[in-house]
Amino acid sequence: QVQLVESGGGMVQAGGSLRLSCTASGRTFIGYAMGWFRQAPGKEREFVAAIRSGGNTYYADSVKGRFTLSRDNAKNTVDLQMNSLKPEDTAVYYCAAQTSYSNSYYSPLQYAYWGQGTQVTVSS
C-alpha cells in the first residue's frame, strides 16, 4: 500500500532549524511533483514548497529564502530544510505527492497522497 511518512518535527526556538523528511513507500513518485503543506490552528491548509521531478523547486513567499526542498528519487524521499524559523511557522506539516501532471503545484487539490503530518512548534 502507498504510504507517505513524515518525520523530523519537533519544538525549536525562534531562529532555529529543523529538517523534515518524507519517505514514500508502495510506489515511486518519480516523474511527479511532491510538496509540503502546513496547517496552523484556526487556519486553512497552505502551500509551503514543492519540487518537480526534474528538481525545480517552488516556495511560498512566506518561506522563500529560509526553507530548502530537495528530493532523492532513488530513495523516494523529500526533505525540507527549515532555517530561521519563526513562531508563525508553527503548524502541522504534511508531505504530499501528485500522481498526474499538474502545473498547480500550490494547490492541495492537485495532490493524491498525503502523509499523516508532523508537528512543528516554534517558540518565541
pLDDT, tens digit (0-9, with 9 covering 90-100), for 95-116: 999 998 888 899 999 999 999 9
Q: What does the pLDDT read at residue 100? A: 87
Q: What does the pLDDT read at residue 122? A: 98
Q: Which residue did the predictor score with more confidence, 28 or 81?
A: 81
Comparing 50-54, 70-74, 80-84, 100-104, the range with the smallest average pLDDT is: 100-104
Q: Which amino acid is at 71?
A: R
SS (H, E, C) the chain: CCEEEEECCEEEECCCCEEEEEEEECCCCCCCCEEEEEECCCCCCEEEEEECCCCCEEECCCCECCEEEEEECCCCEEEEEECCCCHHHCEEEEEEECCCCCCCCCCHHHCCEECCCEEEEEEC
Q: Which of 120, 66, 71 is nearest to 98 (CA)?
A: 71
Q: What does the pLDDT read at residue 83? A: 98
Cell of 39: 496547517
